[in-house]
Amino acid sequence: MRSGVANLVYKRVSTDQQDTVAWRDRFGRIPPKEAMVHGFVLWLLADLFDSLAEKPGAMDQLMSKTFEAMGTGER
């Protein structure tokens, strides 16, 4: 179940046929406080994924493989 804000964002983005990043970019540069929140949420999701997989670093390995497949891995 989405919160009110998340539901509004989803509805707005899906109505405009615009991806979430493009939608957010319309509001200008992300302030440091907002960027910190995004980073914290990503960290929590990665920790949750690692816990569910019962393997520390599982998300890091998955993302590394994904970036390598996309051709953006470090060489």
Q: Which tops the pLDDT comparison, 15 or 55? A: 55
CA distance 68 to 19: 24
Q: Which tops the pLDDT comparison, 30 or 21? A: 30
Please state the rounded mean pLDDT for residues 3-28. Answer: 68
* 51 domain residue, yes or no: yes
Q: Which tops the pLDDT comparison, 46 or 23? A: 46
- Are the C-beta atoms of residues 41 and 54 closer than 8 Å to each other? no
* 75 domain residue, yes or no: no
| DSSP assignment string, 3-57 | -HHHHHHHHHHHHHT--HHHHHHTT-SPPHHHHHHHHHHHHHHHHHHHHHHTSTT
**Residue 43 pLDDT greater than 60, yes or no:** yes
Which one-letter DSSP state was computed for residue 58? H
pLDDT digits (tens, 9 = 90+) for 61-75: 998 998 889 887 555
Total domain count for the chain? 1
Domain that holds residue 64: 4-70
- Are the C-beta atoms of residues 36 and 27 closer than 8 Å to each other? no
What pLDDT does residue 1 have?
45
